[in-house]
Structure 1
Amino acid sequence: MDSTPFAEDGKLVELGVEIVDSPDEADCIVGRRKYLFKPDAVRPGKFHLLWTHEPFFDVTPTFMEFLHQKHFGRGCPLFIFNAHSGLIYTDNYYYGPTGQPLSLLRGEQDLNVGFSDKLITFVASFKKFDALVDGSSISLYATRQNLALELHQLGRLRLIGRGWPEGVSEGESRYVKGALDAKHAFLAHSNFTLAYENCISDYYVTEKIWQGIQGGCLPIYFANDTIYQAFPSHSFIDGSQFKTAEQLGEFVEAMPVHEYIRRVNVCREVYNYALARRFRGVSRRHSMLRLKRFLESMKPPALSIAENAAEAAVADSVD
């Protein structure tokens, strides 16, 4: 349950929640993946909460009806908190900036590399997940992976990460010791970074854009229109505006250094503003309050929760 409120027992206690060892003792069974759907994880008379951030499964009405008929019948309700249910995120800052304020660029001497180097970096694993909402795909995995491969073939992109076709990736990214340091070291060799989200959903803004800015790059970003509640237009490069890799590559190649510096500084100003006002912590408190209201509506004033045994027994191999 990493990166969820259920990973922080102290905050749950503040909400009047007790963590118990046995599902039979619990009022609510909580899970993060499909393991919650296993028959041995379902307890009649309890309610079940799936907290996924992103749905790594089909969440169409047909599938949900199937789930309820097979596992979550009468007296065994299932609730879903994810990027698309509208129950987790209230703004763009849940994964917002951390660390120290960023200095504004004064000139080309402050760039990661000389501006004649227009190579784009990309840090990501190759995955095949999809996400459907009401029958429509909202996943960006295929979009960003195809774009990365095309840019790489054009000689405009370098990347690190596992699972890519042979000869494409220059090394590991996420699944190594000191992964964040390795990512920043890789970003330091470029002025641009591809930072597409995993999926399209309001207020689902992960670390990708923030770490790209922190790493000294101008993000090429694609997520959702709510991002413009945090960033002004013509700050980051909006990947949704380009139909082909060639168009994007030509846009980057044609960008003058003064325009690049202006865009980066706007991004850094947004970063520093969010950092100074601790928007990340505020956003997470708002999400906790949503969870609190939900739990109180189910069984006030206190709840006992157990993470399902089926999930605990399986390695958390999907991120």
Structure 2
Amino acid sequence: MKYIPVDSYGRCLHNKDLPHRIRKQDFMDDKELYKILAKYRFTISIENAICDDYITEKLWRPLSLGSVPVYRGSPSIRDWLPANNSVILIDDFKSAKELAEYLQYLLQNEGEYEKYFEFRKVGLKTRD
């Protein structure tokens, strides 16, 4: 929020409201919520716990909706990604400012942004 505009629907740094009908937990899989989330180029996806192999809908939902997750969570996340260039890993940046500058770069360079979706065209990576 300091370096790049962020819409925050949650309790922390709340600055945007969901439609009243989908504010409850019961509606986290609601199609109306999906339509809202799919409009965003990026989704900040931070897990509640940092544990190996603990990966929740916070990563998978934006991936499935066509929004690039900006992720912090499982240390083993690279083992689970559909492709190396499908998610932006917060821990790969030295600071919030550096991350924000990279997101701005992607917003200004459509070709670079689109690389995050190439895995959808060629399929999933194979394991060794």
Q: Same fold (TM over 0.5)?
A: yes
Cα distance in 1 between the residues matched to 2:93 and 2:120:
20
RMSD: 2.5
Cα distance in 2 between the residues matched to 1:170 and 1:233:
32
Q: Percent same amino acid among aligned pairs? A: 25
Deviations 1:227-268 (A, max 9, x none): 211224332101111232221111011122122212123268
Q: Within the alignment, does 1:180 sit opposite 2:29 as a pair?
A: yes
The higher-RCO structure (CA 8 Å, 6+ apart) is 1
Cα pair distance change 1:169/1:265, threshold 3 Å: same
Deviations 1:192-250 (A, max 9, x none): 11111111111101111110111210111112332211224332101111232221111
**2:64 aligns with one of 202, 207, 214:** 214
Residue 65 (structure 1) aligns with: none
Amino acid aligned to 2:68? L
> What TM-score, normalized to structure 2?
0.74
Residue 157 (structure 1) aligns with: 6
Residue 200 (structure 1) aligns with: 50
Matches within 5 A, 1:261-280: 261-266=114-119, 269-270=123-124
Amino acid aligned to 1:169? N
Amino acid aligned to 1:164? C
**1:227 aligns with one of 68, 74, 77:** 77
Cα pair distance change 1:224/1:179, threshold 3 Å: closer
Q: Structure 1 unaligned runs (5+)?
A: 1-150, 274-319
Residue 110 (structure 2) aligns with: 257
Contact 1:235-1:267 within 8 A present in 2 as well? no
Amino acid aligned to 2:6? L
Cα distance in 1 between the residues matched to 2:44 and 2:15:
14
Question: Secondary structure of the equivalent of 2:7?
Answer: strand
Cα distance in 2 between the residues matched to 1:267 and 1:203:
23
Deviations 1:62-112 (A, max 9, x none): xxxxxxxxxxxxxxxxxxxxxxxxxxxxxxxxxxxxxxxxxxxxxxxxxxx
Residue 16 (structure 1) aligns with: none
Cα distance in 2 between the residues matched to 1:261 and 1:157:
21
Residue 169 (structure 1) aligns with: 15
Contact 1:209-1:219 within 8 A present in 2 as well? yes
**1:236 aligns with one of 87, 97, 120:** 87
Cα distance in 1 between the residues matched to 2:49 and 2:64:
22
Larger radius of gyration: 1
Contact 1:213-1:267 within 8 A present in 2 as well? no
Q: Structure 2 unaligned runs (5+)?
A: none
Q: CA deviation at 1:184?
A: 1.3
Cα distance in 1 between the residues matched to 2:94 and 2:36:
27
Cα distance in 2 between the residues matched to 1:246 and 1:206:
26
Cα distance in 2 between the residues matched to 1:224 and 1:179:
22
Aligned pair count reads 117
Cα pair distance change 1:177/1:206, threshold 3 Å: closer
Cα pair distance change 1:253/1:245, threshold 3 Å: same
Amino acid aligned to 1:258? G
Q: CA deviation at 1:176?
A: 5.0
The answer to which structure has the higher strand fraction is: 1
Q: CA deviation at 1:190?
A: 1.3
Contact 2:4-2:100 within 8 A present in 1 as well? no
